[in-house]
């Protein structure tokens, strides 16, 4: 009899614990703190992979995660917004990359954005020159400057 009573009490305890577990797991909010297993550079690398496969929104998410501690990610975000033809956003992120990193590609890409949108030709030329000053060996930066200067000479009164 004592044994049956103990088994009944144990079963009741298990049943109560199960009900409480179900209630807690279903209706009460739980906070989970997970450590991000990826480094900021790995987030950039994953973003590049997404970008190459055309998954631009996924790329932006990865670059955003990286940007918290790796400011060069702003350059990558600018590139994605440029590809999406969201030029105001691209300009914002290129400027952020310039401010935070001084990266010559950020100067060049902002100059190219201005060239592409036919906006701020003088500023585009200044930015392209700055990119070349910072990275004189980059032929693509010289190409950007050449195109900007050609367009400016075509539009100047003769």
Do 96 and 79 fall within a single domain? yes
What is the Cα 21 distance to its own chain's centre?
A: 39
Do 113 and 97 fall within a single domain? no
- Cα separations in angstroms, 137 against 2, 127, 141: 89, 16, 9
Do 121 and 143 fall within a single domain? yes
Read off the tokens for 23: 């209630």
CA atoms of 128 and 107, how far apart (whole Å): 6
Count how many domains the chain has: 2
Task: Report yes or no on 31 lying in a domain.
Answer: no
| Range(s) of the domain holding residue 134 | 103-153
Read off the tokens for 5: 């009573």
Residue 65, C-beta contacts closer than 8 angstroms, at least 6 positions apart: 36, 38, 40, 43
Do 140 and 88 fall within a single domain? no
Q: Lowest mean pLDDT: which of 29-43, 105-119, 143-157?
A: 29-43
Mean pLDDT of the chain: 87
Burial (CB < 10 A; 0-12, 13-18, 19+), residue 120, is middle
Provide the b/e sequence for 1-15 (b: ≥16 CB within 10 Å).
eeeeeeeeeeeeeee
**CATH number for the domain harbouring residue 48:** 1.25.40.10
Do 108 and 124 fall within a single domain? yes
* Residue 81 or 152, more confident: 81
CA atoms of 105 and 131, how far apart (whole Å): 7
Do 127 and 143 fall within a single domain? yes
Tokens 């075509």 sit on residue: 154
Task: Report yes or no on 2 lying in a domain.
Answer: no
pLDDT at 28: 56
Q: What is the per-residue pLDDT across 99-125, written as a single tens digit (0 to 9) for each? A: 999 999 999 999 999 999 999 999 999
């Amino acid at each position: 009899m004592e044994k049956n009573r103990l088994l009944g009490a144990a079963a009741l305890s298990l049943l109560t614990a199960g009900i409480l577990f179900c209630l807690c797991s279903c209706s009460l909010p739980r906070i989970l703190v997970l450590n991000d297993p990826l480094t900021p550079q790995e987030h950039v690398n994953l973003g590049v992979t997404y970008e190459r496969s055309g998954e631009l929104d996924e790329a932006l998410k990865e670059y955003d995660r990286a940007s918290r501690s790796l400011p060069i990610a702003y350059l990558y975000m600018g590139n994605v917004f440029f590809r999406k033809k969201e030029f105001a956003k691209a300009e914002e992120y290129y400027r952020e990359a310039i401010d935070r990193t001084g990266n010559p590609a950020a100067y060049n890409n902002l100059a190219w954005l201005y060239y592409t949108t036919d906006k701020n030709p003088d500023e585009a030329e200044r930015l392209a020159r700055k990119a070349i000053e910072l990275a004189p060996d980059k032929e693509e930066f010289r190409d950007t400057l050449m195109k900007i200067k050609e367009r400016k000479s075509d539009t100047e009164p003769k």
